[in-house]
Amino acid sequence: MTTISNRLQDILATIQSAEANSAYQQRVQLLAVSKAQPASAIREAYAAGQTIFGENYSQEALEKQKQLMDLVIEWHFIGPIQSNKTQIIAQNFSWVHSVDRLKIAQRLNEARASIKTPLNVCIQVNVSNEDTKSGVLPEQLEALAEAIEPLPNLKLRGLMAIPAPTADTTQQIAQFKQVRECYDALISRGFALDTLSIGMSNDYETAISQGATIVRIGSALFGARAPAKNTALSTSNNI
């Protein structure tokens, strides 16, 4: 039987060889995406050595965090952010990958004031994915980065993107290249970024070849998820 531990070792080995073949000479971190997985699955991955986990829904995450208080986990929030959830998110996560508007960044900044360490944030960029309305358009990226940079309780670390899913490697490369160009452009404008959060179960090797420093992997590690409640009636439940 394939266990979470077996799959974790396979994924880490794949990441390592993709890293070795990458022209960017970057270090790559695995973010285990545990949405729709029970706390027991997180515990299993943790026992196998994984300590960084990503969640998409704040309430679901909070419940699991309560059950896993005995573990030293670094939690990353990667889902769409509603304004009324900014407090919960700012106070219960170390990282947020999905900041795409100033109002949300300002609310996260305010809610983080009571915590000593700043909240690490990535701006989500919308490249070529018509399916998701999330993410700032590349042409609006620099203005948003400039507005976030001075917020004292946030630390702008880089960019996140969820390109349109495709099995075509050429297409994957083209999409990741766009994100990489946005990232390089910000760095050349003086932003001190170190994080490119791209790549999921089906395309993380390609993402690493294009410079990913964090890959966000769910189903390849935990197995298939039950469809999310709000997409249960949709014909496509593969996201």
Binding site for ligand PLP (CB under 6 A): 33, 35, 56, 78, 162, 200-201, 216-220
Nearest approach in angstroms of CB 113 to ligand PLP is 27
- DSSP symbols for 77-113: E-S---GGGHHHHHHH-SEEEEE-SHHHHHHHHHHTT
C-alpha distance from residue 129 to each of 28, 34, 119, 160, 175 (Å): 24, 23, 27, 13, 9
Which of 14/153 has CB closer to ligand PLP? Answer: 14
Assess contact for 30 and 15: CB atoms under 8 A.
yes
Nearest approach in angstroms of CB 226 to ligand PLP is 12
Nearest approach in angstroms of CB 160 to ligand PLP is 7
Nearest approach in angstroms of CB 33 to ligand PLP is 4
Which of 151/221 has CB closer to ligand PLP? Answer: 221
Which of 45/220 has CB closer to ligand PLP? Answer: 220
Other CB atoms within 10 A of residue 103 CB: 9
Closest-approach residue to ligand PLP (CB): 218
Nearest approach in angstroms of CB 204 to ligand PLP is 8
E strand intervals along the chain: 29-33, 52-55, 74-77, 95-99, 119-124, 154-160, 195-197, 214-217
Which of 143/224 has CB closer to ligand PLP? Answer: 224
Assess contact for 123 and 148: CB atoms under 8 A.
yes
Which of 57/191 has CB closer to ligand PLP? Answer: 57
Nearest approach in angstroms of CB 170 to ligand PLP is 20
Mapping DSSP to helix (H, G, I), strand (E, B) and coil, where does residue 209 land?
helix
Give the span between the Cα atoms of 40 and 78, in whole angstroms. Answer: 20
Which of 189/238 has CB closer to ligand PLP? Answer: 238
